[in-house]
Structure 1
Amino acid sequence: MPAERAPSPTRWWTLGIVALGSFMLMLDLSVVAIALPQIHESLGSSFSDLQWVFDAYALTLAIFLVAAGSLADRIGRKKLFQVGFAIFTAASLACGLADGAGALSWFRAIQGVGAAIMFAVGPAMLSHEFHGRERATAFTAFGAAVGLAVATGPLIGGSLINALSWRWIFYINVPVGVIALLIGALRVRESLNPKAHPTDWSGLATFSIALGALVYATIRGPVEGWTSGVTLGLYALSAVFLLFFVVIERRLGERALIDPAFFRSPTFVGISLVAMIGNAGALPSVFFETSYLENMLHVDAWGTGLRFLPLTGAMFVAGALGGGLIGKVPFRVLLGGSTLVMAIGILFLNLTEADSSWTVLLPALIIAGIGMGAFNPARAALAIGVTEPAKSGVASGINETFQQVGIAVGIAGVGAYFQHSVANDFKDSAVGKQMGADAAESAAHGISAGGLDTVAQAAGPLHDKVLATGQDAFMSAFHGAMTLSAILGFIAAIIGFTMLRTKDLHSSALSTIPPDVDEDGEVRPDGSPDVTVGASA
């Protein structure tokens, strides 16, 4: 309708606030990686504690994304975005004041709730405000903000930690959040879908329990034992509540937290799987690259941040270029190709050794950075492009949920593999047997958490043997974990190339596709359109 397609005078303010919010919430996902050694030292946290500092945030992000998208469509996207920003800002202050690893993880979980609201609602706000060619521009900026946050996290974190302390990676959010809330209140207009269904609280509860049990079991598996009653019980609990969730969703139909109708589209299923599996491989690689630099090469926080600049540059440039290709290149090529490039880059991490120069990371940082940067804008655009604009909040929330589930489960799963590998290699070594089973296991946990030097110093006359064996165990586990991350990337690429179809897009999204592209995203030799262009949004 013409009235709906009239350019909004406040659309660029909306883009600015959404991009800023997305930058902050993704920054807090990546910036923590650089601070983990300092958090470990300051709060005396274990390896599983460190994982929870990551996963508590990603977990609540995943759980509340779909509910946030549904609620925003019903009560107002601007209103809920402002609420999310306020929760995120207040929780950031609480994280900075935390006096223990447990408290920090809980405040990170609350921070994740605010981030979930922002991340689910932001793309829907852009979809409502921008149409046609401008929509591609908006999602280019959105993707660049997300990519820049992930890439610059180590540098920003390193500078704050070196100049002040790890607490300032959270404190910095407070003044930025207050300013953003004021601008949003004054310059962003409201949008909603009055026909949206009420929030599915029963689905939210069962989904939350299923996902929480799954991640907790995966993180605690190396500690409790993979065949222990606690671990198996948690996995069983997760499976039971996931079954309850599926039954509830099927009965509710369109009123469900995750509308089963979305999954009748192969492209929606495909982009959801690509987002989940691709991120399950991408984020653990950043986590462990940071650990390698700080624990094996003994680079400080600021130095680690500087060494991530090649990743920063690659992601920023690829994000901008990738967003500009939306509508010009088939989505299956954009998303399949970006995850393929990312996986190839991660494989290059197997070139590392305990005594390598940091430059050995350059191929991985640049190649994987190109893939990660190009992925984000295309993913966000396709996720909302497969449904009508009125349901864009829910569609965005579902896709972001799959992405954050991938991050949470990826970090938990790859982290559990890493911890298990370190423990097995060290306990089975000659020095491990010499130390005894209990002492060797305790030492292995210390090595996993980044405390190899401390473990070696405490070993007394066995210092040199423990140091050498610990390095070997760390590097072997690091290579295995990065190979696992790359395999996940390759799986995501295969899904992207085979399941994504332009013809599944809603007509409103097709207005960004040039007229010489057919319904499969291929250029027509006669230049004639095969789809309706410029349909009402």
Structure 2
Amino acid sequence: MLAATAILMLDIAVVNTALPTLQADLDTDLHMLKWVLDAYTLALASVVLTAGSLADRYGRRKLFALGVTVFTASSAAAAASGSIELLIAARAVQGIGAALMFAVSLALLSHAFRTPQERTGAFAAYGATIGASFALGPFVGGLLTEVAGWEWVFLVNVPIGIVVLVICLTRLAESRDPNPPKIDIPGQITLVGGLFALVYGLLNAAEEGWGSSPVVAALAAAAGLLAAFIYIEATSSAPMVPLGMFRNPRFAGAQLAAMAISAGLFSTFIYIMIFLQDVKGYSPMEAGLVLVPGTMVNLFCAAGTAKLAGKVQPGVLIAGGLGLASLGMVISALLISPDMSWLELQIGFIVSMAGTGLFNPAVSAVALDVPERVAGLATGIHDTARQAGVAVGIAALGTLVSTGDIAGSLQDVMYAGAAIGAVGAFAALFLFRPRPGTPVGALAPEAA
């Protein structure tokens, strides 16, 4: 589980560093580079909920093995891509494989480790793997790109995937839900269509303008399909997203906050990498190293936040973390220039990642503070919120980017990202406001 989680999380982080080199080798532009990231995150966000339902019905080990196979084969296809179009297609398939893997990983761990003590250790290792993958991702991506070529950002998954598949088939026990829910096909179709139309419209708005017919049509289709998705979920007898869960303001606030930090902060990384390599002239490995101090601060702050549980309201940590992330982006925006120093690059990013370290443990705890019978569903909803936030954020912030002035564009991107984070922080303060009789540190009541 840890090896599989590491490669699917690394594939979100490592690709950012390789993008400028990939752009030159495949003779493409920034518009298509955005799709290299969004094809993966969109597929992951759109499919992860249905993947969990399929696993409950047909077997979690079986779906996990299928996910590893799809992910490994599409990684090889991505490395062999001779054009940007083939790479984007391979990335979309890779995202589907990642969704199958991610949707069942926690369920498989719960089945393998039966006692509370065993599960605590397993889940701690699982969380540490996610954190370490993000921390090492930029450097690993830069190292592979510089030493062996951008293809190895994807090829490195192949031997790991083969080993994971062998372990899965020989060691993992099968498990399934004896009373699985129905597959919500109308909900799946409208969710995929709505998210794709939204991202397509935003990405093309950067190239063609907001008033162009394709952009207007795509955004109108997105509004209609996402509205239809909400209607289907509200009226379905077996919805993939039970809207009743969002009656709990803290559960709803956790998803909103997750989308805010993903769209406001994490979606800026692609533009930071382009600035570092195209404007500052850093090599891929040097660009990756720029992000390492901040990601290590993130890990230390996340570990320290665990000691605050029961002493500080989770809403304070979530809103405070988002506030720090926004402050860091404002600092970065004020300092960005073609001749800024390495130290100036660190200041804002470290502040933002310290805020992320406060944010992540608290928001995950609230998002999963639900009855055990819907824990898997809550995990899927939370991951959908995060990945959809990244996909939409990359597209939306991309409308502010001009290839003629990357430094000035990055300033605008940082200010916009800070605004998204600030809105999320105020929303969190409102939705997580203490209720009469609620003890300090108490999490959300059980979602219906």
TM-score, with structure 1 as normaliser: 0.77
| Cα pair 2:314 2:441 within 8 Å, conserved | no
Match of 1:99 in 2: 82
Q: Shift in Å at residue 521 of structure 1?
A: 4.5
**Aligned residue among 330, 338, 363 for 1:354:** 338
Write the letter of the residue equivalent to 1:495.
A
Question: 1:206 aligns to what?
Answer: 190
Q: How far, CA to CA, are the matches of 1:330 and 1:164 in structure 2? A: 47
1:149 maps to amino acid? S
Which one has a bigger Cα radius of gyration?
1
Contact persistence 1:61–1:112 (CA under 8 A): yes
Structure 2 unaligned spans of 5+: none
Q: For 2:327, which of 344, 362, 375 is the aligned residue?
A: 344
In the other structure, the counterpart of 1:484 is 416
Partner of 2:236: 252
- In structure 2, what is the equivalent of residue 439 of structure 1? none
2:323 and 2:425 in contact (8 A); partners too: yes
Structure 2 CA distance for aligned equivalents of residues 480 and 407 of structure 1 = 17
Aligned to 1:380: 364
Instruction: Return 35-44 or 333-342, whichever deviates more.
Output: 333-342
Q: 2:374 corresponds to which residue?
A: 391
Give 1:273's match in structure 2, choosing from 256, 260, 265.
Answer: 256
**Partner in structure 1 of residue 42 of structure 2:** 59
Using the alignment, how far apart are the partners of 1:30 and 1:220 within structure 2? 24
Q: Which amino acid in structure 2 is aligned with residue 362 of structure 1?
A: Q
Q: Look up the match of 2:224.
A: 240
Determine the C-alpha separation between the residues in 2 that align with 1:94 and 1:371.
37
Aligned to 1:431: none
1:77 has 2:9 as partner: no
SS of 2:399's partner is: helix
Shift in Å, 1:218: 0.4
Further displaced range: 74-83 or 160-169: 74-83
In 1, are the aligned partners of 2:142 and 2:284 still within 8 Å (CA)? yes
Deviation at 1:126, TM superposition (A): 4.5
* Shift in alpha-carbon separation, 1:262–1:488, aligned structure 2, 3 A: same
State the AA in 2 paired with 1:478. L
The 1:268/1:154 distance shift into structure 2, 3 A limit, reads: same
The equivalent residue for 2:158 is 174
TM-aligned CA deviation for residue 263 of structure 1: 1.6
Give me the whole-angstrom Cα distance separating, in 2, the residues matched to 1:339 and 1:127.
Answer: 31
Q: Does 1:28 align with 2:8?
A: no
Instruction: Quote the offset at 1:380 in angstroms.
Output: 3.3
Q: Which moved more, 1:154-163 or 1:360-369?
A: 360-369
Q: Distance in 1 between matches of 2:444 and 2:225?
A: 42
Secondary structure of the corresponding residue to residue 299 of structure 1: coil
TM-aligned CA deviation for residue 109 of structure 1: 0.4
In the TM superposition, what is the alpha-carbon distance from 1:494 to its structure 2 partner?
2.3
Partner of 1:291: 274
2: CA distance, partners of 1:130 / 1:58:
32
Match in the other structure for 1:231: 215
SS in 2 for 1:196: coil
Equivalent in 82, 86, 100 of residue 117 of structure 1: 100
Q: Structure 2: how far apart are the matches of 1:273 and 1:25?
A: 23
**Residue type of the alignment partner of 1:487:** A
In the other structure, the counterpart of 1:520 is 438
User: Which of 493, 505, 516 is the equivalent residue of 2:425?
Assistant: 493
Aligned pairs for 1:397-476 (under 5 A) are 397-418=380-401, 422=402, 448=403, 470=404, 473-476=405-408
CA gap of 1:328–1:73, structure 2 versus 1, over 3 A, is farther
Name the structure 1 match of 2:293.
310
Report the counterpart of residue 162 of structure 1 in structure 2: 146
**Hey, what's the Cα distance between the residues in 2 that align with 1:266 and 1:80?**
33
Cα pair distance change 1:178/1:325, threshold 3 Å: farther
In structure 2, how many angstroms separate the alpha carbons of the residues matched to 1:304 and 1:531? 40
CA change 1:258–1:523 in 2 (3 A) is closer
Contact 2:309 2:441 in 1 (8 A): no
Partners of 1:257 and 1:222 lie apart in 2 by: 33
Question: What do the CA deviations read for 1:248-286 (whole angstroms, capped 9, x no partner)?
Answer: 222214x01211221222122111111111110121232
Closer/same/farther in 2, CA of residues 192 and 213 from structure 1, 3 Å limit:
same
> Alignment partner of 1:189: what SS?
coil
In structure 2, relative to structure 1, the CA distance for the partners of 1:136 and 1:276 (3 Å cut) is: farther
Shift of the 156–64 alpha-carbon distance from structure 1 to 2, 3 Å rule, reads: same
- Please identify, of 143-152 and 21-30, the stretch whose mean Cα deviation from structure 2 is larger: 143-152
Pair 63,309 (structure 1): closer, same or farther in 2 beyond 3 Å:
same
On the 8 A contact 1:343/1:368 being kept in 2, the answer is: yes
TM-score (normalizing by structure 2): 0.91
- Higher mean C-alpha displacement, 273-282 vs 241-250: 241-250
SS in 1 for 2:236: helix
- Counterpart CA distance in 2 for 1:307 and 1:265 is 40
